[in-house]
Amino acid sequence: MAAPSRNPSFEAVVLPHFDAAHNLARWLMRDGPAAEDVLQDAMVRALTYFPSFKGVNPRGWLLQIVRNAAYSSMKLNRGIELVPIATGEDDPGAIADLPSLDDDPEISLIKAKDRCRVRQLIGTLPVELRETLVLREIEELSYKDIAEVTRTPIGTVMSRLWRARRLLVQAAGEYRRAS
């Protein structure tokens, strides 16, 4: 029996967090193909710099790389507004839209519309609020981990979350009044 390796592989340490990285890229870029490009760039960077990885919080380390790649991409494309064509496969929550076998068709449709509306509302948030909300509520990172990924103080993370949640509540209220 071989002795356990002291240097874990990239596949063992980083790849388990690939889905979280993909999710963050999609929310930051708001465009499927652009998110794929950012994710590819981030994974190349992660592989390149993996030998210097200290072994602490690989998820946060990878998400920070994705965030940096996304912001770099946004700077390169400043002034270019991509308008994605909704095909279902480009939608970050397309799998969540599958009906539950527990629901009748009417309840299933209502839930799908609600999920779609929440994703739309999150998509309207400024990027720094959107990324903080996604990291906390969807990726379930701690405030400390979000602060590390975004390189901001914990107080800023808390403030951004509060503002993001407040804006979502206001937007949802306006949507209900308009309906």
DSSP per residue, 119-146: HHHHHTS-HHHHHHHIIIIIS---HHHH
**What is the share, in percent, of the chain residues with pLDDT greater than 70?**
77
Per-residue confidence band for 38, with pLDDT thresholds at 50, 70 and 90: very high
- For residue range 107-119, list pLDDT tens digits in order: 766 667 777 787 8
Is residue 5's pLDDT more than 80?
no
Lowest-confidence segment of 68-82, 113-127, 133-147 by average pLDDT: 68-82
| CA-CA-CA-CA torsion sign (124, 126, 129, 131) | positive
By C-alpha distance, which of 84, 137, 88 is closest to 116? 88
* DSSP per position, 166-177: HHHHHHHHHHHH
Task: Select the more confidently predicted residue: 67 or 54.
Answer: 67
Instruction: Give this prediction's pTM.
Output: 0.64
Q: Average of pLDDT values for 23-37?
A: 91
- Could you tell me the fold of the domain covering 9-84? Rna Polymerase Sigma Factor; Chain: A (1.10.1740)
Give the Cα separation of 155 and 139 in Å (integer): 19
How does the average pLDDT of the chain come out, rounded?
81
Domain ranges of the chain: 9-84
Tell me: the pLDDT tens digits for 56-106? 899 999 999 999 999 988 877 654 444 444 444 444 444 444 555 566 666
Q: Cα-Cα-Cα-Cα dihedral of 32, 38, 39, 45, to 10°?
A: 170
Looking at residue 17, its pLDDT comes to 94
